[in-house]
Structure 1
C-alpha cells in the first residue's frame, strides 16, 4: 500500500514487550479465575464471574492501551476519554458475555461458540473504539486485515474459553508450567490480534479536526504507559492474592469438610439459637434421618437437654434418644462452643453408646452369673487336683445320683471313671498340669458309673485355673446318656425295619457279607431263603392296611421264634423276608424252611376274623449256587418265583434251569413294549350260548400274542408281566378298541347285534380317566354302548367301593353292560352285590370243573344262581366242557354258558365260519382276557 502521504509510525519495543507481558498475565489470570468459578459454591459463582470478567477485560484493555502507547506518529496525539472509557466497557461486556455463556448448565459446544463470538466481538469493538479515540488524525483501514484481526480475536477467545472451561487442562490441578505455556499462547493470540488491527490502519493528519479540551487530553506515552502497567500489575497482584487466599480458604474448608464427614463420631453443628446448620454422615446414620429432615430443625427436638445448651458445654453426659426408625439408642453427648465468622456456633458430638452399654450390662450380668455359677449353674462342674475331687456343684450330684456332696468330695475321680477310660484320663491330666495350658481340653465321650454302679456317658471340657496361687483343673461335665441312647435308637432305626424291628436289607447285606467273608476258603455251607407270603395282598385289601401291618408284625414274631440264634432274619420289603440259615445239608435247610411255613400256617386273628396265609420259599446254597451275596439272593428269588408258579405254599431249591425262565421273562417284558406297535396281538372270540334256545347271546374277546421269537405266548404268562410293568394300560385300551371295532364291523356285515365282552384289569379300571377312555373308544369305533359288556373281578369290585360304584354308574348311564367275572373265587359278599350296578354274574370255572362229580360244587352253583335271580341278574357259567355239566346247569336254570363244549376261542375268520355253520339268531354279549 502507498503510504507517501500518510503519517510515519514507529513502535517502542519495550512498551510492546510490556503489552505482551500484560496480555500473558491477563491470560494466566483468566485460567485461575476459571478454576475459581468452577470450584466455587453457587453463591460465589456470580462474584467470581464478575471479578473474572473485570480482570480479564481490563487486562486485555490494558494490553491494548499499552500497545497503543507504544505506537508513535509524526505528530502529537490526543485521546478522547469518552471513547477510551467506551473501549473499556466493550472489553468488560465482551468478557462477561463470554464467561456467562460458558457457565450455562448445559455447557455445549454451541454455547462455547456464542461465548467466543461475544468475547471476540467485545475485544474487536474495544480495539477499534480505542483507535477512534486518537485525535487529530484520520484513520483508514484495510478491510481484509480488519476481518483477519476479528477472526483472530474470536478464535483466541474460543480457544481461551475452551481451555479454561471445556478441556481437562485447566481443571485446577494443572502444573504451573502448563498454565504458563497456555498463557504465552494466549498472549501471542491477543497481541497478534491487536497488532494485526494496528497494521490494518493508515493514519493521515486531519486538518479539519478540532480538539475538545474538555474530553480530549494529550497523554505522555512513557509516563502513562508506566502508570497503566503499574496499576495493571497491582490489580493483578491483588487478584492473585485474592485467588491464593481464596484457594487456601477453600482447601481448608474442604479439609474441614472431609474431616467433618470422615469423623467416626456423629457431629451436629447448630447456630447460637440451637438451629441445626450442618450434620455429618455418621450423624445421619446414627439418627436414621435424612439431611433434609435435619437442616433448619431445632436440635432440642431430639436432644431434650439441649434447652440449656450453654450449661452442657465442656461436659459429657448420656442421653436416651428416639431415632428415625423408632428404636431407642443411648448416646454420649459432648457440646463445644466455637466462635465463627457469622457468630457463635455449637458443635455437638454424639457417640453411640448403645452396644457398649449393652455389653457393660452383659458383662455385669455375666459377672453376677459367674459369682453364683458354681452352685446354681445348669452345667455340672467339678474342680479337682491330683485326681482328687475338691469341689462340685448340684448338677454333678444329679448326674452321679449322690444325695450329698460329702459322698463325693475327697474321693478320687477313678471312683467314678470306668477302668478302661482311666489311663487316657490320667494322661490328659498330667499333660495339662505339666504345660499349664490355658486352652480347653475336651473329651467327646467318657464312660462313668454313678453311685449305684449304673453306666452313664458324659462329655467333658477341662482347663487349668488358679485358686490361691495353686493350679487346679476345672471340668465342665455334660450328661449325654439319653443322647447316646437316642443315637443308638437312630442307629437301630437306620438298620432295622420300622414295622417289624427286624434287620433291614442294608444290615442283612452287611451281616451276610461278613459270613461270606469268614467262610471263604472253608468248606462250611449256608443257605439264603427268600420267602413271600401267599394271599397277603388280598388280606391287606380286604381288612385294611392296619390289619396288614398287624399281620406282618405277627409274622416277624413267629419267624424269629422258628429260627436258631445263629440265623439272620430280615424283612426284604412288603411281604417278603430273607433268611440266612447256617446249615450243612439240604435236608437241614429244607427242615428249617418247613418250620417257617408251619409257623405261618397258623391262623391270624384280625377283626374277629381268622386269616390264613401260606409262604412260598425259594432257596439258594453257598457255595454251590454262587459265591456272592447278590447272586445268592437273586437265585433264591428265582426259586421263590418258581414256587409261586407251581401253585404256591411250596419250597424249591434253585437250579440252573430257572435262569432260562428269567431270560424268557426279560424277553417277554421287552417284547411287550413293542408288541402293540408291531401288530403282534390278536383277539380270539368265544361265543356265549343261551341254554334254553342254543342261540348266541354274545362273545368274550380273548387276547393272544404271537411273539416273533417265542411263538404263541399264553395270556396267563404275559398278563401278570404287563400288570407289573403297567403296560397293561395301553394293552387294555388296544383290546377294548379292537373288540369294539370288530363287533361294529360284524354288525355292518349283517351279523346279529350282540354284546362283545372285554375283561378289564384292576390297574386299568383304577385310572381316573377310565370312563372317558371307554366313551372315546365307542365314539371312535361307532359301536353303540349297549353292545359292549365290561367284565371286572370281585377284587376290583370291592376295592374302594365308592369309587367303583361311581364309575359303574357312569358306564351304566351311557348304556354299557357290567358283569362280575370269576364270581365265588374271591371274598364274595352279598352286601356289595346289592350296591353295585351290575347286569351279570359269571360263575368261576373252578366250580364248573367238578360239577358232575362233586355234589358240593353243585350246591355252590345252585346258590350262586339263586342269588343272581333274587337280584335280577343274569348268570353265565364259564369253562363248560362236558354234556353232564350242561345238563346240571339246565336243571339249575342257568341262563348262559360258555366253554369248549360249544366252541373254543376262535380267530376272526374261524369265528365267522363257525357262526355261518351254526346259522343261529343273534342276540347280545362279550369280554376280554
Structure 2
C-alpha cells in the first residue's frame, strides 16, 4: 500500500490500526518474526525488548539513514539511534519515552531529527506503546511505527518562510514575538509617555510539564495570557515569546506603582490550579527595564529585562527585579570573562586547589575535592563563584570540568609512581555533560590514557542533575558506576530532593548541603533534617560528607549522629596541590 497518499489524520488512523495489530502479538518470538513483513513507501515499524535491551526493526530506518543492514551491530540497541539524535531533539525525545514508560502519556509519540551516515539530518515521526509488562507490571516490550517525514518537514519550513505574515501565537491567541516587537517599537517611538519592559516567566516550567503533562503546561500558558489580557491597558502590549516567556510593555509612573501592579498580575496568575486543588508551589519571575533612552534597540531592551529576571531565579518565591547599573557592571565583567576564558584555558591559568576531607572518627585525611581558581595575569586570583555561574550559562563549564578531571588523572598517576597510598579525589561535573552522548566514554578513555583506576576518582553531580530527565540521568550514572567511578550527590537537600530517589540511582556518597549547618546551632529543624539524611544514607550503604563545617559545635553534632566525613574551614581550606601533599606528609 502506498502511504504517501495519506494525509496526517489518515496516517494517525492507520497508526492506531497498527497498534491494535501489535497488541495481538502474544509471544516475544512471534513479535520478532512478524516484524519482517514488507512495508512500502516511507512507513516502517520497530520492536524494543527492554529486558534484553534489543531493538528489532525493518529496513526503513536503517536504509533511510544511509546504512546497510551489514553495517549495524548484531545486537541492535536503542543507543544506536539515540546517539544520532539532533541535540535540540534529544531531551524531548527521551522525555516522551519516559512519560509513556511512567504511565503519564498513553502513547509514545514524537517527531525528531537523526543524523544520517552522510551527516545530513532526517526527520522521523515515531509512535509506539507498551505491548507487554512483566509480572510486577513493569514495561517489558514496546512496539510501534516510524514514518520518514523529511519531505513534509522541508515543505513546512518552506511554508513557514512564505507565511511570515502570521502574527498570532497559536496556543494563547496573544501576539507572538514578531508582532510584539513591532507594536512595542511603535509605542515607544510614537507615544509621549514612559514605558517599562517586563520579561515574565515561570521558574522550572519544564518541571510543570513533567508533573502535569504538556496539557497541564499549555493550560497554564493560556491562563497567563488570559490574565495579562485583563490587566493590559490601552497603549500597552504583551505577547508570548517562546515557551513560558512573556514580554510586556507597560506604562511607567514610578517604581512603587509598577511593582504594586506586577504583584497584582502575579497574584492573579498564581490562582491557577492544575488539578484537584494541587498545592504545587508555582514561582513567577519578572525582570523589569525602565525605558529611558528611546534610541536603544528593542533587542537590547529585552536583553536587559531578561538579565534583571535572572537576578531572582532560584529564590523559590515570586518576585520582580529592576535592571540597574550593578547589572550593567556585571555584564561588562561577564563579557571580559567570556572574551578571555578560551585563552585562559589554553594558557593553563586555571589552577587546581584541593580541599581535604577528614574521617570523623580518626580525623585523618581520607580524600579531597578538586576545586578551581583562575590565576588571572592582571587581576590575580579569581574565585570560582565569579566565573563558574557564567560558565554554566554559556556551556564552557564542560571544558573546565574535563580539564580538572584530566589534571587529577595526571596527578593520581604521579602519586602512584611515587608509591603514595591512593586517595579518592572528587571532581565536580556539570549536568550539561548529560547532553553529550560521548561523555561516559570520554572519562573512561582518559583513565585508560593515564593508566589509573576509575575507583580513585569520585564524580560530584549536583542534585539538580536528577531534576529533569530522570531516566537519562539514571542511565548515565549507571554506566559510570559500572566502569568503576565513585559517584556523589553534591549539595543534597538544596533543590528538588527526593529521599526515595536515592534507592534508585547509583550513588556512593551524599554531600549534605552546607545551608543546613547554618541552622544547626540555633534550630532543631536543621538538626532533624541532617540526622534524617545521615540515617537514610546509612540504611542504603551510602557514605555521607558534611561540607561547609566551620565550628566545633557542628563537628560534635555530626560525629554524634554518625556522619562519615567532614569538609570545611574547621579542618582545612582549599589549598594548592603542593600544600596538600605537604599536609599529607606531615600527617604521615
Q: TM-score w.r.t. structure 2 length?
A: 0.67
Matches within 5 A, 1:860-899: 860-899=529-568
Cα deviation digits, residues 698-746 of structure 1 (max 9, x gap)? 1111122223444433323322332333222322211111122223323
Contact 1:862 1:892 survives alignment (8 Å): yes
The one of 511, 518, 523 equivalent to 2:190 is 518
Higher-Rg structure is: 1
Contact 1:625 1:632 survives alignment (8 Å): no
Contact 1:672 1:722 survives alignment (8 Å): no
The alignment partner of 2:233 has SS state of: coil
Cα deviation digits, residues 193-248 of structure 1 (max 9, x gap)? xxxxxxxxxxxxxxxxxxxxxxxxxxxxxxxxxxxxxxxxxxxxxxxxxxxxxxxx
Cα deviation digits, residues 810-851 of structure 1 (max 9, x gap)? 322332211222212222224432221221111111112211
Report the Cα offset of residue 601 of structure 1: 4.5
1:856 and 1:698 map into 2 onto residues whose CA distance is 30
The reply to whether residue 906 of structure 1 matches residue 578 of structure 2 is no
Contact 1:626 1:632 survives alignment (8 Å): no
1:862 and 1:669 map into 2 onto residues whose CA distance is 42
Tell me the equivalent position of 1:729. 398
Contact 2:367 2:423 survives alignment (8 Å): yes
1:510 and 1:861 map into 2 onto residues whose CA distance is 54
Tell me the equivalent position of 2:167. 495
Tell me the equivalent position of 2:470. 801
1:804 and 1:637 map into 2 onto residues whose CA distance is 29
Tell me the equivalent position of 1:715. 384
1:603 and 1:880 map into 2 onto residues whose CA distance is 42
The one of 447, 458, 480 equivalent to 1:789 is 458
Give the number of aligned pairs. Answer: 427
Tell me the equivalent position of 2:333. 664
Alpha carbons of structure 1 residues 782 and 644: separation in structure 2 relative to 1, 3 Å: same
Contact 1:559 1:599 survives alignment (8 Å): no
The reply to whether residue 838 of structure 1 matches residue 507 of structure 2 is yes
Unpaired segments ≥5 residues, structure 1: 1-489, 921-929
Cα deviation digits, residues 766-787 of structure 1 (max 9, x gap)? 3211221111110122221211
The one of 533, 536, 556 equivalent to 2:225 is 556
1:710 and 1:496 map into 2 onto residues whose CA distance is 50
The one of 758, 771, 783 equivalent to 2:440 is 771
Alpha carbons of structure 1 residues 896 and 608: separation in structure 2 relative to 1, 3 Å: farther
1:829 and 1:715 map into 2 onto residues whose CA distance is 28
1:732 and 1:856 map into 2 onto residues whose CA distance is 35
2:443 and 2:550 map into 1 onto residues whose CA distance is 33
1:723 and 1:592 map into 2 onto residues whose CA distance is 33
Cα deviation digits, residues 314-346 of structure 1 (max 9, x gap)? xxxxxxxxxxxxxxxxxxxxxxxxxxxxxxxxx
1:641 and 1:677 map into 2 onto residues whose CA distance is 30
The alignment partner of 2:279 has SS state of: strand
The alignment partner of 2:324 has SS state of: coil
Cα deviation digits, residues 96-134 of structure 1 (max 9, x gap)? xxxxxxxxxxxxxxxxxxxxxxxxxxxxxxxxxxxxxxx
Alpha carbons of structure 1 residues 713 and 554: separation in structure 2 relative to 1, 3 Å: farther
Contact 1:600 1:614 survives alignment (8 Å): no
The alignment partner of 1:796 has SS state of: helix
1:541 and 1:549 map into 2 onto residues whose CA distance is 12
Report the Cα offset of residue 898 of structure 1: 0.8
Alpha carbons of structure 1 residues 859 and 591: separation in structure 2 relative to 1, 3 Å: same
Alpha carbons of structure 1 residues 841 and 631: separation in structure 2 relative to 1, 3 Å: closer
Contact 1:852 1:888 survives alignment (8 Å): no
Matches within 5 A, 1:269-280: none
The one of 681, 705, 713 equivalent to 2:350 is 681
Contact 2:458 2:487 survives alignment (8 Å): yes
Alpha carbons of structure 1 residues 910 and 550: separation in structure 2 relative to 1, 3 Å: farther
Matches within 5 A, 1:476-875: 494-519=166-191, 522=192, 524-540=193-209, 545-602=214-271, 604-605=273-274, 609-623=278-292, 628-644=297-313, 649-797=318-466, 799-875=468-544
1:690 and 1:621 map into 2 onto residues whose CA distance is 54
Tell me the equivalent position of 1:250. none
Contact 2:286 2:309 survives alignment (8 Å): yes
The alignment partner of 2:166 has SS state of: helix
The alignment partner of 1:495 has SS state of: coil
1:609 and 1:636 map into 2 onto residues whose CA distance is 31
1:664 and 1:645 map into 2 onto residues whose CA distance is 22
Report the Cα offset of residue 804 of structure 1: 3.0
Alpha carbons of structure 1 residues 578 and 751: separation in structure 2 relative to 1, 3 Å: same
Write out the 4+ residue segments of structure 1 that deviate beyond 6 Å after TM superposition.
490-493, 645-648
2:481 and 2:288 map into 1 onto residues whose CA distance is 50
Alpha carbons of structure 1 residues 803 and 533: separation in structure 2 relative to 1, 3 Å: closer
